[in-house]
Amino acid sequence: MTSPSQYTIRPAELSDVPAMAALSADGFKTDRNTMVKAMGADPYDHKATMESLLPGWIALDPATRGWTVVAVENTTGEVAGWVSWGRAGYVPRTASAPTIPVDHDELERQAQAEPDPLVRLNKLSSANFRRWMDTKLMPPASGKERCIYVSSISVAPAHQGRGVGRLLAQNGTAEADKDGVDIWVHGSEAAGRLFPKLGWRQIGEYDIDLDEYAIGPPPNGEAKWGHYMFRYMMYTPNLSKA
Ligand SMILES: CC(C)(COP(=O)(O)OP(=O)(O)OC[C@H]1O[C@@H](n2cnc3c(N)ncnc32)[C@H](O)[C@@H]1OP(=O)(O)O)[C@@H](O)C(=O)NCCC(=O)NCCS
């Protein structure tokens, strides 16, 4: 087993984006929800999505909006993994950007009525995510609006199981401890195995029967895609470290 000290965390740079997008696409290749979304006429392309999102995440003001770091292997300089953190509620909302209340039931009804199964899957997952954000993760006027969240985290398959995910997660929890704020994540199945090991608690889940949406057969001659569970998980700050 390689010790985590063989990796160093540093701020991500724009020149890291191609490597970050590529390793994230590799990391999600076996994620069954991503595999189902990547089918069809307008398939979800994880690499292209990351290439378009990462420059914006890297450019955020770290003190108020969020930050992105990479874990670099010390000997080779290779980018082994990365995480983007978002900050919510660190700057007051301006009158020009008021909170618009969302009718979550209506959003879900609209998603349910979508005839294309893959669009329906996307819209239902988004509606569920939105409901959780607005009612549980950071509801308005709850005192939880000031928080940190995981925008995305990935470790290259060749570097998984060596403590890189733990190192990346600790980069955010150290900040949460300093600021006295919670961190939440809308986690994949792999994330559901990582974060509870690091003391995050699961506060909710979203169970998807992938066979309701998949428009192609599962891999490796398997009979079914099976169920996929998104997990909403929360880290509570350790105030003694503030
Ligand atoms: C989730 C992910 C970031 C974990 O990274 P990692 O570098 O392999 O994690 P670590 O080696 O630091 O693991 C830390 C702990 O979590 C456990 N863990 C992490 N991933 C696990 C998995 N898939 N299955 C079982 N345990 C796992 C490890 O066993 C370890 O526990 P231990 O210290 O008691 O042995 C990585 O699997 C990944 O990138 N997956 C694909 C992308 C993804 O799903 N990202 C999450 C989006 S929300």
**pLDDT tens by residue, 202-223:** 999 999 999 999 999 999 999 9
Neighbours of 125 (CB within 10 A): 19
The predicted structure's pLDDT at residue 147: 96
- Mean pLDDT on 211-238: 97
- Domain of 144? 4-241
Looking at residue 65, which CATH number applies to its domain?
3.40.630.30
Cα 214 to ligand 1 centroid, rounded to whole Å: 26
Residue 231 phi/psi, 5-degree rounding, is -125, 130
Pocket of ligand 1 from Cβ distances under 6 Å: 27-28, 31, 153-155, 160-166, 185, 187-188, 190-191, 193-194, 197
Name the residue among 31, 72, 47 with its Cα closest to residue 171.
72
Query: Alpha-carbon distance 161 to 176, whole Å?
Result: 24
Query: Alpha-carbon distance 133 to 145, whole Å?
Result: 10
Cα 162 to ligand 1 centroid, rounded to whole Å: 9
**pLDDT tens by residue, 6-58:** 999 999 999 999 999 999 999 999 999 999 999 988 899 999 999 999 999 99
The predicted structure's pLDDT at residue 123: 96
The tally of domains found in the chain comes to: 1
